[in-house]
A = this chain, B = another copy of it.
């Protein structure tokens, strides 16, 4: 069976950087945005559109009310993107040893018993990480934002990740019971974390 490592991470906590370094050390495949590109290729939808659909809980436009029960109608476009994402994650895990970041992969691959990491930190560290060069994308870096705007942005992104995870897995995002190790990056360097996770996973 392949060695699978999944990484859940709070936005701004350095999870992606740790995942990349860990993949380099272990010499295994690394999947993050590659999943979005692959869905876009298979569905002929744009990457931007796929990313928006694949990373957010669906907006339910028509809740149907029958007696005391609400039935949610999940839009078709959402179901097919989610199904594609699900298939791709399973294919990647069956192909070779790999690291998969986000997307509820710890839950999707639970029968393969992956090593499940969760990366988090406090708000100050997240703000610092967004502002410095560890995040190269200007939008994610919050270029030109005040500290309180950046705080709000970080909270919104993490709320959206939590909603997505909880909607599709029925589990609480970031609840340590669902992971093998949870690491706070406020005091420990990503390179050190990657090095040591490579020896314990």
Q: How many copies does the complex hold?
A: 2
A156-201 with Cβ < 8 A to chain B = 174, 176-177, 179-184, 186-188, 192-193, 195-196, 199-200
A122 at the B interface (CB under 8 A)? yes
Q: How many residues of A contact B (CB 8 A)?
A: 23
A26-70 with Cβ < 8 A to chain B = none
Whether A180 pairs with B176 at a CB distance below 8 angstroms is no
Shortest distance between the CB of A119 and any CB in chain B (Å)? 11
With A118-B176, A176-B176, A196-B196 known, 18 other A-B pairs at CB within 8 A are A113-B187, A115-B187, A120-B176, A174-B176, A176-B182, A176-B184, A177-B184, A180-B183, A180-B184, A180-B187, A180-B188, A181-B181, A181-B182, A181-B183, A181-B188, A192-B200, A193-B200, A196-B199
